[in-house]
Amino acid sequence: MFAFRDFLTFSTSGLVVLSGGGVAIAQTTPPQIATPEPPVGQAPQAPLPPLATPGVDPLDTAAFLPSLGGLSQPTTLAALPLPAADLDLTPTAHLGTIQAPAPLLAQGDATETPSTTGVDVTLPTAETNRTIPLVQSLPPDRVINEDLNQLLEPIENPAVTVPQEATAVTADNVVDLTLEETIRLALERNETLQEARLNYDRSEEFVQEAIAAEYPNLSNQFDITRTDSANGELQARNLGRDNNATTAINGRLEVSYDIYTGGRRSAQIEAAQTQLQIAELDIERLTEETRLAAAVNYYNLQSADAQVVIEQSSVFDATQSLRDATLLEQAGLGTKFDVLRAEVELASAQQRLTRAEATQRTARRQLAQLLSLAPTIDPRTADEINLAGRWEISLEETIVLALQNRQELRQQLLQREVDGYQERIALAAVRPLVSIFANYDVLEVFDDSLGPADGLTVGARMRWNFFDGGAAAARANQEKVDQAIAENRFANQRNQIRLAVETAYYDFEASEQNITTAAAAVTLAEESLRLARLRFNAGVGTQTDVISAQTGLNTARGNYLQAVTDYNRAFAQLKREVGLGDAVIAPAAP
């Protein structure tokens, strides 16, 4: 087990913490991982033979997490006079004009001298490229978008905002998160999962809309009219009246209910309820996806943190090599060529460190985006890099477990049921529709001497569109085809799940084996670098050997880190493929 912080380098016995005041040693003890029992009915596998190398003790294959190797102690050159002044270990800038190699002499013309010695190639520098595009800060009237702010103004949701100042997006609030906290925040705050919950709420309203068809409809109509027509005027003249205009109020209250809909109403209710189940399964599916994404992003950030430490160690090693080469040159035992090689290696290590730090910052922002954190929060990992767990279920059992519990398979089967309900709804269009109704109306005419009148009407109605040119049958056939499509998607999804399980399982096994091999390679690379420096300081080795050993150690550390990260990712992927989340992990024994 080992922890990474901002300024850490490694050693074979612990972690070397580089700080402004000195060096602190933190001992680390690798956890022991028990060898899994073989599945029932299978013979136990023989353990891998230890890696034997002259001068290096073989690693214990049960120790999956030794320390990530480390920096050799600075070489002391006791036999060489040390200069009084401090050494300048800053790489010299050698950029400038590069001479391309002269063309090879033609065969048989060895005595001739080429007419040209090379082609001058000028590297771009600040002096040669004087006219370059320059991006400057925009004026405030170009930064603030008034149209956008007007659209945002009526929205009361605090999440729907856009920052207008740089301080609002400055990630200066450092928050250390454990993996458990990261997953919990992701399940609470992730926008994709929140949208799935909103879709579930909408599906509930669809169910209520479908159930409303089981209740009668109650409607009311109220009219007030004033009539002054030509025909009325003629009638008024015949009756000897001067005014023919009439004012009347008419009110109607009607109750209707469909007692038979040809199966349409029940099919709509069942289809809406099934869609609600699909939405619920979608929440479960996205929950597992979010859990996996949170774990993978957390492991990626851990990997980026560790890679920064590795590159810092590489810079430290390259600085030490440059110091040794410089001391040997000043003592007359080395050459300028060795110093230049060391400077190049140090410059390359510094570039890799810069790139690793950029990757680290990007990984932090990716985690913040997944967790929907505030723009000013900068998440960091609080957990130590360690194995996420052990997977002692066989591949075959894992496949069966995944196929029994994956939400996607049930969703396809439920979608097939929805298509069946839609078929019934389509056929209901050419079946009888029987309804009953009752209405009560009141009429009052103000311009006559009669009082108000009322009436009650009760009846039944049947409507049957028994021929529509085959449109209903065509829609029903479309739904039958959709059912076949759902069945085909089920089979395809089942095969994809099996492939995903097998891929994750094989990656998990490979990463588990690579951890032991990579740990051994780190130890061997450390010893190789130590011996290369001793040989170089003794005058029997070359600077090339030291640089090659440094590169090998850096590669071994990266391979080990990659093996641990791949192991944890594969473990998280296996949990997701099974579809049970942390429920697949057995509780700890009391």
pLDDT of residue 449 exceeding 80: no
User: Rounded to 5 degrees, what angle do the CA atoms 370, 374, 379 make?
Assistant: 60
Q: How far apart are CA 558 and CA 69, in angstroms?
A: 11
- Among 298-307, 453-462, 538-547, the range of highest mean pLDDT: 298-307
Q: Is 83 helix (H, G, I), strand (E, B) or coil?
A: coil
Q: What is the pLDDT of residue 94?
A: 45
Which one-letter amino acid corresponds to residue 404? Q
Q: What is the pLDDT of residue 585?
A: 67
Confidence of residue 141 (pLDDT cuts 50, 70, 90): low
User: Rounded to 5 degrees, what angle do the CA atoms 389, 313, 380 make?
Assistant: 50
CB contact set of 556 (below 8 Å; sequence gap of 6+) = 69, 518, 521, 522, 524, 525
Confidence of residue 434 (pLDDT cuts 50, 70, 90): very high
The residue among 179, 573, 178, 590 whose CA lies nearest residue 391 is 573
Q: How far apart are CA 335 and CA 329, in angstroms?
A: 5
Task: Please state, as a whole number, how many other Cβ atoms lie within 10 Å of the Cβ of residue 193.
Answer: 20
> Each residue of 13-61: pLDDT tens digit?
333 333 333 333 333 333 333 344 444 444 444 443 333 333 333 333 3
Confidence of residue 100 (pLDDT cuts 50, 70, 90): very low
CB 89 within 8 A of CB 319: yes
pTM here is: 0.72
Confidence of residue 159 (pLDDT cuts 50, 70, 90): confident
pLDDT of residue 76 exceeding 70: no
Q: How far apart are CA 407 and CA 409, in angstroms?
A: 6
Confidence of residue 79 (pLDDT cuts 50, 70, 90): very low
Q: Look at 223-227, 249-253, 279-283 and tell me which has the smallest mean pLDDT.
A: 223-227
Which one-letter amino acid corresponds to residue 24? A
Q: How far apart are CA 521 and CA 72, in angstroms?
A: 16
Q: How far apart are CA 467 and CA 429, in angstroms?
A: 9
Distances (CA, A) of 413 to 79, 200, 417, 482: 81, 18, 7, 12
Q: What is the mean pLDDT of the chain?
A: 77
Q: What average pLDDT does range 495-518 have in this prediction? A: 92
Rg, the chain, Cα only = 40
Q: Taking the CA of residue 145 as centre, how many other CA atoms within 13 Å lie in the half-sphere pointing to its CB?
A: 8
The residue among 32, 78, 55, 26 whose CA lies nearest residue 526 is 55
Q: What is the pLDDT of residue 446?
A: 74
Pairing between strand 433-445 and 14-18?
Answer: unpaired
- Among 225-234, 524-533, 538-547, the range of highest mean pLDDT: 524-533
The torsion of the CA quartet 416, 421, 423, 425, rounded to 10 degrees, works out to -160
Q: What is the pLDDT of residue 580?
A: 78
Q: Which residue has the higher pLDDT, 124 or 196?
A: 196
pLDDT of residue 588 exceeding 60: no
Q: Which residue has the higher pLDDT, 68 or 308?
A: 308
Confidence of residue 285 (pLDDT cuts 50, 70, 90): very high
User: Which residue do the tokens 């028994």 mark?
Assistant: 466
Q: How far apart are CA 132 and CA 135, in angstroms?
A: 10
Q: What average pLDDT does range 292-309 have in this prediction? A: 93
pLDDT of residue 134 exceeding 90: no
pLDDT of residue 241 exceeding 90: no
CB contact set of 506 (below 8 Å; sequence gap of 6+) = none
CB 518 within 8 A of CB 559: yes
Entry field: residues in the chain: 590
Q: How far apart are CA 520 and CA 590, in angstroms?
A: 35
Q: How far apart are CA 454 and CA 401, in angstroms?
A: 71
Q: What is the pLDDT of residue 162?
A: 81
DSSP string, 167-211: GGG---EEEEE-HHHHHHHHHHH-HHHHHHHHHHHHHHHHHHHHH
Q: Is 12 helix (H, G, I), strand (E, B) or coil?
A: coil
Confidence of residue 317 (pLDDT cuts 50, 70, 90): confident
pLDDT of residue 115 exceeding 50: no
